[in-house]
Structure 1
Amino acid sequence: MLQAKNSLGVIFFPAFDWAISPTHPEREERLLYTQDQLREEGLFDIEGITEYKPEIATREDVERVHFCVPDVSTVCTKSHLISAGGAIKAAQLVMEGKKDKAFALVRPPGHHAMKVVHGSRGFCNINIEAVMVERIREQYGPLRVAIIDTDCHHGDGTQDIYWHDRNTLFISIHQDGRTLYPGTGFPIELGGPNALGKTLNIPLPPNTSDRGFLHVIDHLVLPVLEDFKPDLIINSAGQDNHFSDPITNMNFSARGYAMLSRKLNPHIAVLEGGYAIQGALPYVNLGICLAMAGLDFDHVREPDFDPAIIEQTPQVTEYIEKLCDEMRKLYFAPPPAPRQGEVSGEHFVRTKDIYYDTDGISESQVESVVMCPDCSGTLKIETWSTVNPLSVGIQIPIDACDRCVGLGKRMLEEAHVKGNYRYIQCINRKEKEYTHYGF
């Protein structure tokens, strides 16, 4: 009987009762074909590979991560909570030593959901990876975490959530934002003043093939991971870089995805995008599962695969090689200060205008973080949108020094006494206190 070298837990949640529309690319069929393929291939007959049901994330799990305006129940459904719960289940299997690896094949996705949530953007309402990471940090203590996002679209939501977190390395490998939604994810985006260099963006040209993606892993991602030394590696395993995907312009293959997974060697993978429902996802997910289990995946071939047709040009290869060289320099020797925002006293302040393309909401923010040499810094975000009045979120980070704890509590008191805020939320990770006020 075939046996997995690495025991693997696979969590399925196709979300039968949630879709943006019956014909939208983000619908339940995304996982139904994959589910059938994995069973037909006998994946769960392999000793060491086991299918699990998801948990259900709680309101507290979401409030540990997000400032939801006006509250959690208005911005996400039960399907979103189960999707996040599937990611949590994957993390629990690994953290409790029940499985060496785990893959959460769940939907709806989450990596476009930012720190503040007024609605849905990029098909995402809550950030399922972040909800997972902060649950296990709450349960198992502080962890150095690396999140490698291989979705074709820039993981702008995950970047936003961890912009100021010096203990989370976020790397996004994506199609250049000048050619694809959300139009962000450039090398200049390196993180906030207390976590500079802990955000890395690798924008790749359209038509990048296996050669380009694997060069990025070998020559940039792996050296950075070796230096950062994470306790946990998470792959936001979006699959819309595939050559057959209907809404992107890349040339990655199923075997390329499997090879990337073998090289990256994540503890946990969480499905994000990928919309070639029949021609790519069943094969890509099979390849990733086999790679995570330490098994051979050379036989995995999707329909219409022709390596000669999808091979990248020499110009694309040269561009990617130069980009990796520059990004290594930015990680190991980041500039002295972020280039987005300005210093105001002991705070670093930046303003943001955000559009929720799925729900048609426009939001504005003023974000300020304490510039602190000892921790990730207390964070304050004032936010208003076309559907919600001025509100505020305050976060005291999990690694907060005594000074930042005190500053955060003072900000909360001032928000009550002096602020003209409709909703007030405080995430106190240091003391595990999560409060929400609406007036």
Structure 2
Amino acid sequence: MTSAAFDAVELIRLKRDGGRLPEAGIDWLIDAYTHGSVTDEQMAAMAMAIFFRGLNPDELSRWTNAMIASGERMSFARLSRPTVDKHSTGGVGDKITLPLAPLVAACGAAVPQLSGRGLGHTGGTLDKLEAIPGWRAALSNDEMLAQLEDVGAVICAAGSGLAPADKKLYALRDVTGTVESIPMISASIMSKKIAEGTASLVLDVKTGAGAFMKRREDSQALARTMVEIGKAAGVRTVALITAMDTPLGRTAGNGLEVAESVEILAGGGPSDVRELTLALATEMLACAGIDADPAQVLDSGKAMDTWKAMIRAQGGDPDAPLPVARHTEVIPAAADGYLTRLDAMAVGLAAWRLGAGRAKQGDPVQAAAGVTWHASVGDRVSAGQPLFTLHTDTPERLERAVQAIADAAEISAEPVARGDIVLERIS
């Protein structure tokens, strides 16, 4: 298609006024933006027009396919195992990928988990794993394929060749107030997952205070949209809506969450992390057509063996001690009673302020920084007992982290039951 086939300003006006973008116009726009002939200013205007006007299903499918076509498309066809992937929309203490990938691999699947880094209050899977001495995130496609065949699981950085249009557009949306567009979130996630080449995909769409989508109806809309995109592309896709008002597990922070994940693989760990890991594993194995009991495999130690093989394959030492923060501060419970609320956003903000997260792409993170909470919702606590421990290598960060977490917990005389983790299944 020639560069003169469409005019960016005309396409912007068309969407601004509620019109439908032509299929060839979408192809041209994404290609021209990827190669620099449509400017950031023009694409920012289009993103804002889409933010307010949306994309219908046909437009969204074409937009997603155009982003896939902007780069390479991987193939796992030569693997002897069926492929299945998981994507989470992110939350506080969400370390599920770490025990989940080796568990599903130990059941017989190939799990190509192309992951990212954290930004703001949500932690990145690669940041967590880089707390392990020697572990490396960057693999070539050949290394990834070899590890998938040999070990069954790989967690690594997505190559720059996958959906480069998305990388460029995401950075633009981040600085123009257009991140929270369901069509563009869906296209961003699904273009990378479809380009990755997996045959099946399970989506963990968070909802609640610590989630990207705070409202249940927004999470449902996002899940339905992504499932439809996946199915239209021939990828078996299922979504679980899961609760993120309360953080997962007992830790938020990179090395802290690795240690907790290893506890899960050893057959222990927090019950909510185990429950969600098994729920997602069950869905992934069903998508992959594998008849296995993930709970039995987890308790047998096979998933731990796969975890260690996966870490070693990427240069890491799974038995090496994890980093420990140089400074800690304990925050005690203020009263006797039952923990009735633990605010995920406040905990995530405190972990970020301690150095576990980053304010902008490229910022360094501390491997040992984060928050441990010593009780879960529904637990009885006594005044003066440790409720939170803050971890950091830079003690000047402690004051602002204490401020962030000051109102995170609520203690009442009457007990409450913790709500369900898995709220809904969408397929």
TM-score using structure 2 length: 0.28
- Looking at secondary structure, tell me which structure has more strand per residue: 1
Using CA pairs under 8 Å that are at least 6 residues apart, name the structure with larger relative contact order, 1 or 2: 2
- Looking at secondary structure, tell me which structure has more helix per residue: 2
Larger gyration radius, structure 1 or structure 2: 2
TM-score using structure 1 length: 0.27
